Structure 1
Amino acid sequence: MIERRARVLFLVRVAVERTADFLQAYELVRHQVNGVPGHLMDQVCRSAVDPEQWLVTSEWATLADFEAWERSTGHLELLRPMRECFTEARSLRFLVHAQTPEPETVCSVPAEVDVAHW
């Protein structure tokens, strides 16, 4: 069986008055999760129509990598300040089936392009 990349989504609500606390806590988590085996990237997104609704996504090499990090010592303590800001939270896990463009081409620059003039 081929292991697929995984996308983990947290759909959360944060009271407007807790926004700064939430974003500060996210920054701490974001910097500490970099370097965790299998972690590829993460994002925090705010709803365009509801200022209390947020989406936190992370991408992992495999779902097993995320689950290993989730079970690791200190995981809950690391996320505690962020979770304390939530008035609601829902977690979803997906396996990436397809993506455009392919990961290898996302940051590629054609050889004939002079990047000094961009």
Structure 2
Amino acid sequence: MKGRARVIIYLTVPEAGPAAIEDAYHDISGRLADTPGLLRNELLRSAMDSTGFAVLSEWESMADFKAWEEGAGHRSSTSPLRPFQDRAGERHYGIYEVVAAY
């Protein structure tokens, strides 16, 4: 588990409602199903704010994530969620490397 990477994208519900986020998430997940190094991803809804969502992805390594992120298909495959990114805070995403786990 040490050395794996986790990426969190923060989202906010549009006026149309949460179904738009859920649909975009399922669309993207289908496109990324065979991405090298991608172990899994999850759509999370905030238990503290019903308008807050996040996508958490787990990667085999930081190198795998960076290779995908720098690849040609990154922007086009993730574009359906881009309009819902929560840009109200300091950062609308986070990239973390696992340094310890039990």
1:61-100 equivalences in 2 (<5 Å): 61-88=60-87, 90-100=92-102
C-alpha spacing 1:87/1:67, structure 2 compared with 1 (3 Å): same
- How large is the Cα RMSD of the aligned pairs? 1.8
Q: What are structure 2's unaligned runs of at least 5 residues?
A: none
Moved more, 78-87 or 67-76: 78-87
What is the TM-score normalised by the length of structure 2?
0.83
- Whose relative contact order is higher, 1 or 2, with alpha carbons under 8 Å and at least 6 apart? 2
Q: What are structure 1's unaligned runs of at least 5 residues?
A: 101-118
CA contact (8 A) 2:9 2:92 kept: yes
Number of residues of Structure 1 aligned to a counterpart in Structure 2 = 98
Report Cα offsets for 1:1-54 as digits up to 9, x if no partner. Answer: xx8111111122222524111111100111221211111111110011211111
Q: Which residue of structure 2 lines up, in the alignment, with residue 17 of structure 1?
A: 16
Q: Which residue of structure 1 lines up, in the alignment, with residue 37 of structure 2?
A: 38
Deviation at 1:87, TM superposition (A): 4.5
* Structure with higher helix content: 1
Quote the sequence identity (%). Answer: 32
Distance 2:53 2:68 in 1: 22
Deviation at 1:74, TM superposition (A): 2.4
Q: Which residue of structure 1 lines up, in the alignment, with residue 58 of structure 2?
A: 59
Report Cα offsets for 1:58-90 as digits up to 9, x if no partner. Answer: 110111111111122122122112112334361
What is the TM-score normalised by the length of structure 1?
0.73
C-alpha spacing 1:38/1:76, structure 2 compared with 1 (3 Å): same
